Structure 1
Amino acid sequence: MRAIIAMLLMLSTYAYAGCGNISDSDQRAYCEAKTSGQSCGNIRDNDLRASCSAEMNGQSCGNISDNDQRAYCNAKVNGQSCGNIRDNNLRASCSAEMNGQSCGNISDNDQRAYCNAKVNGQSCGNIQDSNLRNECDAIKH
């Protein structure tokens, strides 16, 4: 399951790396939509495009077929509960972003570091996955 969060990064604390350095074209287009206001229409993945359109353009999360991603979208866009998310890491990430809870309950190291960067202002440099690190850095700048 791709994590929407999915998304936003830095190559290290030494150099800025924006969305253009994300190798996955869908994640790159999502990052560019979030950071530069570009269109979500360039995203081929239906769920990611629907999530992007909901976040950026106020469209419905109802077009997202993945239940967890739809619940996460509804939490971000419509203020609904994170409790409907079955995936433990995504639910913990949602709770940290929406309710100020700790990122410490996220078992995946990269997702936890990404959460801490978004929620607590920590560095993106601890994220091993280069795409996620670049996305993290782009969002923080």
Structure 2
Amino acid sequence: MRLILVMLLMLSGYAHAGCENIKDDDQRNYCKAKEGWGGCQNIKNDDMRNACKSEAEGSDSCGNIRDDDQRNLCKGKRGIDSCTNIHDDDLRNLCRAQQGRGGCQNIKNDDMRRDCRATTNG
């Protein structure tokens, strides 16, 4: 039992450490919120804050996201939609990874790849 608890604590620390390596403030705060280490209120970008509220806080904020790819990513993460409508390769690969249908290695953007690895253990 103790071993399981230690493993869970190590994994949660690893995810948090993965978020700390993200250079962009909004992306880092979003990553932390998804891992339960903070809230979405510190995210300045409206679309990213709404996506965070949807994913981390469980609100239905995907519809408030103006950018089509970000809105489709939000819906994909919630299982409302597939990832096929996302035009941006990195966002589509992130969506697939978070649905368990791909890995993070094909994401070219460093911060997005770090976020993917921190939140999917991939």
Q: TM-score, normalised by structure 1?
A: 0.58
**Partner deviation per Cα, 1:37-64 (whole Å, 9 max, x = no partner):** 3285665543233323322235321111
25, 28, 53: which is aligned to 1:49? 28
% same residue? 33
Q: Which has the higher contact order (CA 8 A, sep 6+)?
A: 1
- Aligned CA distance change for structure 1 residues 102 and 34 (closer, same or farther; 3 Å): farther
8 A contact 1:53–1:59 mirrored in 2: yes
Letter in 2 for 1:97: K
CA–CA separation in structure 2 for the residues paired with 1:48 and 1:78? 16
Letter in 2 for 1:109: D
CA–CA separation in structure 2 for the residues paired with 1:117 and 1:48? 17
Q: Given the alignment of the two structures, is residue 91 of structure 1 paired with residue 50 of structure 2, yes or no?
A: no
Q: Given the alignment of the two structures, is residue 72 of structure 1 paired with residue 51 of structure 2, yes or no?
A: yes
Runs of 4+ with >6 A deviation: none
8 A contact 1:34–1:56 mirrored in 2: no
SS of alignment partner, residue 59 of structure 1: coil
CA–CA separation in structure 2 for the residues paired with 1:123 and 1:84? 28
In the other structure, the counterpart of 1:105 is 85
CA–CA separation in structure 2 for the residues paired with 1:42 and 1:105? 29
CA–CA separation in structure 2 for the residues paired with 1:92 and 1:135? 18
How far did 1:121 drift?
1.7
Unaligned runs of 5+ in 2: 1-11
